Chain A
Amino acid sequence: MGLTLAEKILSAAARQDARSNEIVIVDVDVIAVQDGTGPLAIEKAKELGGKLAKPDKTILFIDHAAPSPRAELSNAHKEMRAYAKTSGAVLSDINQGIIHQRLIESFVSPMDVVVGADSHTCMSGALGAFATGMGSTDIAIAMVSGKTWLRVPESYRINIHGQFQPGVYAKDFIIYLIGMIGADGATYKALEFGGEAVSNMSLPERLTLANMSVEAGAKAGLFASDEKTRKFLESVGRADDWCEVKPDADGTYEKDYEIDLGAIGPMLAAPHTVDNSLKVIDAGGTKVDQVFIGSCTNGRIEDLRIAAGILKGRKVSSGTRLIVTPASRKVYMQASKEGLLADLVDAGATITAPGCGVCVGVHGGVLGDNEICLATSNRNFKGRMGNPKASVYLASPATAAASALTGQISDPRKIGA
């Protein structure tokens, strides 16, 4: 019997046949923490003896509060910088960007097992790696031993067909899918994306899908590593890191879904759960106080191109604030070179430093009481953007840009390029 992607990667990492529902101990290839979870992981790693199993593959990201808005956080950052020096771990400081974007740009290769003290670590699954989020203690164990334990997940196969309508994007599809299977519909499972539409999908689109797999409860969101993956790695100067990874044709899946992209329109996740999905046309007219374009889900160059394409030469509605956060320094530089930042600023946007602050409600775009934000990030839980009295809708960069223009939730297909 054949293997699913999860079984294939975990079998290699466990050096034994690893089938669904088995508990295995695997070697990990990449270990990541951020400034919210890192200090605790470092404390536990020190308690366990401290020496890192793979220092050059242990990366400490300072991104959630970057640059630091408070002394307490500055002190946590100091500790992380000092630990990087003494332990040999890699430091990704405030100028570098968001953990998951940095991981796919510089650290993760197909077939890797990636563990991170951040739930959206699953984004690296788009490269054909088994990537999953854990807490600080689990990560501390991985830091000192180079290993972790896992239950091999059963997989749901998501077969995607057809093509997006103009104005509809991967973000709309994943919000639609999570609405369909529910915020706990894939708990403890892996989502394995396939079908001819996936072969045509660009890496950034795959990243958005893998990123939000955890919003259906999934342990991982997985893609085969193919020619598109190779091209992506080449584009970030890592062509040699590529290898092909694909599931066997006769793998066993707990469920199969068949989805036609052509049937999906622009979608929203309405407050306060990600599975509270809704068509944009059914929420048209809702006034928005703030629009946020950024995060590990949709802060890439492709997303900024879409937003700038809509906003260039126009003005953000006077009652609405637009905040744009490039996901990494690389994205920031590229957007600058292409003139996108100038177009966005000219339209009325505020550009912030690459990082997480706005998405996680730490700083940079905290909402006021009863305010409504439309965001391209991945979570809309109560309090998520810093204020439990505010509401967050999630949508694609195109819907975000269209809504910034009109000051209300708007269908990008009605705006025109």
Chain B
Amino acid sequence: MDELAGKAWKFGDNISTDHIAPGRFFHLRTNLPELAKHVLEDADTEFASKVSVGDFVVGGRNFGLGSSREHAPQIIKLAGVGAVLAKSVARIFFRNAINVGLPVLVCDTDKIDDGDQLEVDLENGIVFDRSKDIKLEFAPLPPAMVKILADGGLVEHFKKHGGLAIG
């Protein structure tokens, strides 16, 4: 699954894990499909009902800041989102996303508008904005994360190598 294609859903800077998986749905953390119905609700109340499989969440600076709740990237993935694109990403969210197999790509998302048709070539690090006919390069993932993503997430990585095989 190296080629991804879908529509851009544009969000601003500082989208926190409270926007993505609000604390008032704390009781749904053990019921991810239900929690996913509220994904990003505090940034866009209708996002969960509008997003289609393969679409992209496109954020600004510091995407995913805040709590360590892994439920945040998990429900973005469960909603069918192919990848998160952002200008920069908060540390714990980044690590969590890779661990659960959700690609997170750092690129100049100012060039992308809401609704643009995007294609992502994960292997070569390129985002094509078909609506604008432009190409954006994204920074390669750190090698440790490439390995985890390629193994299908951290749990699979651990099982495959019988431990952590990073570094």
Question: Which A residues have a C-beta under 8 Å from some C-beta of B?
Answer: 22-25, 36-37, 39-40, 44, 47-48, 64-65, 70, 72-73, 75-76, 116-119, 121, 133-138, 140-141, 145, 147-149, 151, 183-184, 187-188, 217, 219, 273, 360-362, 366, 379, 381-388
Q: With a 10 A CB-CB cut-off, give which of B22, B61, B153, B163 has the most chain A CB atoms.
A: B22
B10 interfacial by beta-carbon distance below 8 Å:
no
A37 x B166 contact (CB < 8 A): no
Q: With a 10 A CB-CB cut-off, give which of B24, B71, B90, B144 has the most chain A CB atoms.
A: B24
Task: State how many residues of chain B have any CB contact under 8 Å with chain A.
Answer: 43
**Least CB distance, A155 to chain B, in whole angstroms:** 15
B49 interfacial by beta-carbon distance below 8 Å:
no
CA gap between A151 and B159 in the complex, in Å: 22
- Select from chain B the residue with minimum beta-carbon distance to A274: B65
**Least CB distance, B60 to chain A, in whole angstroms:** 10
CA gap between A73 and B68 in the complex, in Å: 18
Given A23, A25, A75, A381, which contacts B19 in the complex, CB threshold below 8 Å?
A: A381
B31 x A72 contact (CB < 8 A): yes
Report the tally of A-B residue pairs with Cβ distances under 8 A. 149
Question: Which B residues have a C-beta under 8 Å from some C-beta of A?
Answer: 14, 16, 18-19, 22-24, 26-31, 41-42, 61-62, 65-71, 88, 90-92, 95-96, 99-100, 142, 144, 153-155, 158-159, 163-164, 166-167
CA gap between A64 and B41 in the complex, in Å: 21
**Interface contacts beyond A25-B164, A138-B99: sample of 20 additional A-B pairs, CB < 8 Å, sorted by A:** A23-B167, A25-B167, A37-B69, A39-B30, A40-B70, A75-B30, A76-B30, A118-B68, A136-B70, A137-B99, A141-B155, A149-B167, A183-B14, A187-B90, A361-B24, A361-B26, A381-B66, A383-B42, A386-B23, A388-B41
CA gap between A299 and B50 in the complex, in Å: 41
**Least CB distance, B20 to chain A, in whole angstroms:** 10
| A151-B142, A183-B65, A384-B18 as given contacts; A23 in contact with B166, CB under 8 Å | yes
| A145-B164, A273-B14 as given contacts; A137 in contact with B70, CB under 8 Å | yes
